[in-house]
Structure 1
Amino acid sequence: METVKDGMGAVNDMILSRTGSDVDLIPELANHLIDSGGKRLRPMLTLATAQAYGNRSDARILLAASVEFMHTATLLHDDVVDESDLRRGKPAARMVWGNQASVLVGDFLLGQAFKMMVEAGSMDSLDVLSTASAVIAEGEVMQLVTAQNLATTEEDYLKVIDAKTAALFAAAAEVGPILGKAGDDARKAMRDFGRALGVAFQLVDDALDYSGSQAALGKNVGDDLREGKITLPVIVSYQRGNDEDRAFWTRCLRDRDVADADLAHAISLMERHGAIAETLSRARHYAQEAKTALAAAPDCAEREAMMEAVDFAVARAT
């Protein structure tokens, strides 16, 4: 987003300054992930929505940086829970420094995020982002509960990603009109935009785990299968499959008995039952919902850039 380029430069500077600590391990581990080429889509949403509603204050920089710290902390914690080896194509922090250090540095980043929210001086923004932090944690616990459970429905799955992923997108977008003092209708429109974009983004990620490349995904393709995660491609394949297909999914996901050849077989089942195509079709549906909500924003360069961000989120699968 060219329209937020200057703001993102200030956000990046703030991120680097706020990872500083007398404890050398903290900046070392935090910067391992922060410098690894993440898209920074969530803080861009905060900058773009704030600017769309007429706010270019330092508060938007503080809140955008806090959003990125919340996201980074979640990634550090997720990799420990999921026992992931890679993150953004590099060894996950837990593989370099261990699980304990990853969890504790994630906690440090969350603390810094809340300090920046307070410094921004907006109680409504603090309310939105702190609520999102709790919802994200709930989503992670929900995912833990649904893992390996092949009775998980599409409705259950959407509740998980709505909390785990979409909540932060929604909050990142909603704080923009809060800073611009734009009123409840604008807040709802941007919240709905962010939520729909977040769901679309996660659906594409879940499809890529069975159809993409490591470079596109930033982690090992097939990690969801190895970790027993029940995602929409699995739900569709399981529901449309025969008894033999369902026995395969049960062995891999419920029993966590995954052989080297199983990923290829899982992909072939998904192709046979149109599961990836179905998942991407749902992603496009939510992307259109995001654009519909975004139409309520002021007609400006930032709105056009956010429209393009929606297209980018879905185009990753092509």
Structure 2
Amino acid sequence: MSLDIAAKTPHDQLAEMLAADMAAVNALIRDRMASEHAPRIPEVTAHLIEAGGKRLRPMLTLAAARLCGYAGPYHVHLAATVEFIHTATLLHDDVVDESTQRRGRPTANLLWDNKSSVLVGDYLFARSFQLMTETGNMRVLDILANASATIAEGEVLQLTAAQDLATDEGIYLQVVRGKTAALFSAATEVGGVIAGAEEAQVRALFDYGDALGIAFQIADDLLDYGGTSAVIGKNTGDDFRERKLTLPVIKAVARANAAERAFWTRVIEKGQQGDGDLEQAIALMQRHGAMEDARSDALMWSAKACAALERLPNHPLRDVLAELADFVVSRIR
């Protein structure tokens, strides 16, 4: 491998290897986000889709299909479907979280309003189902429909668990599997299914996407307490201010003494936050090794993703997918 290639991120390498396919995906997205009667739909959609997102999930679908030897046209439809589902969930999430920034830009709900964000998200979900039915493959329809339901379920579970200090690591994992990993695993799994891959390979692709999504989310949770907003595309401490029980907080709460638990009750359950509370929260997490243990968990899930790839055909794309699993956690090493 040349130094030039080695210097590129796995995401950049995937983008180069799948450039022609991604061009077709982007053209299909632009075509299907159009609306003859409601110009606000493409306005809102374009704001988010063209905001410099990495298109990681659709590239996972394309890579999985190519890795399994697919030569037909429908991996493009599935990749566009995955991106539409992802974009719809982001529009809805920003309304639920009352967010004002996404990928370093004002959110759609801030620029337009909550109603527009919710309704355009609904439109994109409907478009995604139109796209997936065009493949004529009932199994991919089943996988993506289930993923859509799981994502919504994960978001609702997060609502009920968000400010409850009784939330444990099992519930956290269930939430993450819903709101993040479900679309990663569906994205990779449908790539194998549309390629007609054997069952063991389809399962390996699912396992890779699932583990990658969990590693990705844990890393994101950790970065909220130690990254810069330029790296993570949101403000450091946002999860704390939104009183989200992410993995490092859950670990710190489990190990807290009475005084520390009173602190967590005040800032998370009651939402009474003041100057210095974020810094104290970080200090408590560090005191109990919560950040380090969460980092170890992220690395474990990354290793599981790489192990799943060993069950797939030897292919340059497989190597880059393994590098991607390492890369998503490299920011927290």
TM-score after normalising by structure 1: 0.97
2:136 to 107, 116, 121: 121
> In structure 2, what is the Cα distance between the partners aligned to 1:105 and 1:180?
31
* Equivalent-residue separation in structure 2 for 1:186 and 1:104 (angstroms): 37
- Is residue 278 from structure 1 mapped to residue 293 from structure 2 by the alignment? yes
What secondary structure does 1:211 align onto? Answer: coil
Check if 1:92 corresponds to 2:113. Answer: no
Aligned equivalent of 2:22: 8
1:187 corresponds to which residue?
Answer: 202
In the aligned structure 1, how far is the partner of 2:121 from the partner of 2:284?
37
How far the C-alpha of 1:317 sits from its partner, in A, is: 2.7
Amino acid corresponding to residue 203 of structure 1 in structure 2 = I
1:236 aligned residue: 251
1:247 aligns with 2:266: no
Match of 1:294 in 2: 309
Equivalent of 1:204, from 215, 219, 225? Answer: 219
The residue type paired with residue 146 of structure 2 is T
RMSD: 1.2
What one-letter code is carried by the residue in structure 2 that aligns with 1:316?
A: R
Q: Which runs of 5+ in 1 are unaligned?
A: none
C-alpha distance in structure 2 between counterparts of 1:54 and 1:203, whole Å: 32
Say yes or no: does 1:138 pair with 2:133: no
- Which consecutive residues of structure 2, in runs of 5 or more, have no partner in the other structure? 1-13
Give the match for residue 18 of structure 1: 32
Structure 1 runs (4+) deviating above 4 angstroms are none
- Output the amino acid matched with 1:213: T
The structure 2 residue matched to 1:37, chosen from 52, 68, 74, is 52
CA distance in 1, matches of 2:71, 2:111: 39
Instruction: List aligned pairs for 1:75-114, cutoff 5 A.
Output: 75-114=90-129
What is the deviation of 1:57?
Answer: 2.0
Match of 2:320 among 305, 310, 315: 305
Q: Which amino acid aligns with 2:99?
A: S
Query: Residue 300 of structure 1: CA displacement?
Result: 0.5
Which of residues 217, 221, 239 in structure 1 aligns to 2:236?
221
Amino acid at match of 1:229: K
Q: Secondary structure at the match of 1:256?
A: coil
- The residue aligned with 2:11 is none
Q: By how many angstroms is 1:218 displaced?
A: 1.2
Secondary structure at the residue paired with 2:134?
Answer: helix
Q: Number of residues paired by the alignment?
A: 318
Q: Greater shift after overlay, 240-249 or 106-115?
A: 240-249
Query: 1:127-164 CA deviation, whole Å, 9 max, x = no partner?
Result: 10011000111000110010110011111111110111
Query: Equivalents in 1 of 2:276, 2:34: separation in Å?
Result: 45
**CA separation in 1, counterparts of 2:319 and 2:237?**
35
Q: Which moved more, 1:63-72 or 1:307-316?
A: 307-316
Whole-Å Cα distance in 2 between the matches of residues 260 and 220 of structure 1?
16
Deviation string, structure 1 residues 261-316 (Cα, Å, up to 9, x no partner): 22222122222222222111101100000011111111011111211211221123
Instruction: State the alpha-carbon separation in 2 of the partners of residues 209 and 219 from structure 1.
Output: 8
- Paired residue secondary structure (2:196): coil
Q: CA deviation at 1:242?
A: 2.1
Match 2:42 to one of 27, 49, 73: 27
Distance in 2 of aligned mates of 1:140 and 1:282? 22
Partner deviation per Cα, 1:81-126 (whole Å, 9 max, x = no partner): 1111111111111111111110001011111111110112211111
Is 1:256 aligned to 2:282, yes or no?
A: no
Aligned to 2:8: none
Q: CA deviation at 1:60?
A: 0.3
User: Alpha-carbon deviation of 1:228?
Assistant: 1.7
Matched to 1:286, the amino acid is W
Partners of 1:213 and 1:260 in 2: how far apart? 19
Could you tell me how far apart the structure 1 residues matched to 2:62 and 2:71 are?
8
Q: Is the 8 A contact 1:216 1:316 kept in 2?
A: no
Question: 1:174–1:190: 8 Å Cα contact kept in structure 2?
Answer: yes
Name the aligned partner's letter for residue 92 of structure 1.
Answer: T
CA contact 1:10–1:61 (8 Å) conserved in 2: yes
Instruction: Give the superposition deviation at 1:31.
Output: 0.9
CA contact (8 A) 1:12 1:65 kept: yes
Tell me by how many angstroms 1:58 deviates.
Answer: 1.7
1:72 and 1:205 map into 2 onto residues whose CA distance is: 18
